[in-house]
């Protein structure tokens, strides 16, 4: 399976939910991340417990 599968992300989430919270995974966690660029009128659904990082290149609205 992939180094950071959905199952592994869920395990990380459950560990953080029941113990001390680590604000973000280690930098190398993002090494195989997929980059998605959204355009006006589009949206991306990120399931609960999935680590993600957002960068806005202009004014935007997000709901978490």
**Which residue is associated with the tokens 């919270």?**
21
Whether pTM exceeds 0.75 = no
- More confidently predicted of 49 and 47: 47
Predicted local distance difference test score (pLDDT) of residue 18: 58
Cβ contact 5:29 at 8 Å? no
Give per-residue pLDDT as tens, 1-45.
455 677 777 766 665 555 566 677 788 888 888 899 988 888 888
**Which residue is associated with the tokens 């190398």?**
28
């Amino acid at each position: 399976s992939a180094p950071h599968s959905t199952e592994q992300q869920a395990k990380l989430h459950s560990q953080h939910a029941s113990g001390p919270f680590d604000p973000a995974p280690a930098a190398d966690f993002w090494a195989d991340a997929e980059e998605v660029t959204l355009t006006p009128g589009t949206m991306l659904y990120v399931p609960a417990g999935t680590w993600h990082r957002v960068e806005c290149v202009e004014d935007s609205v997000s709901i978490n």
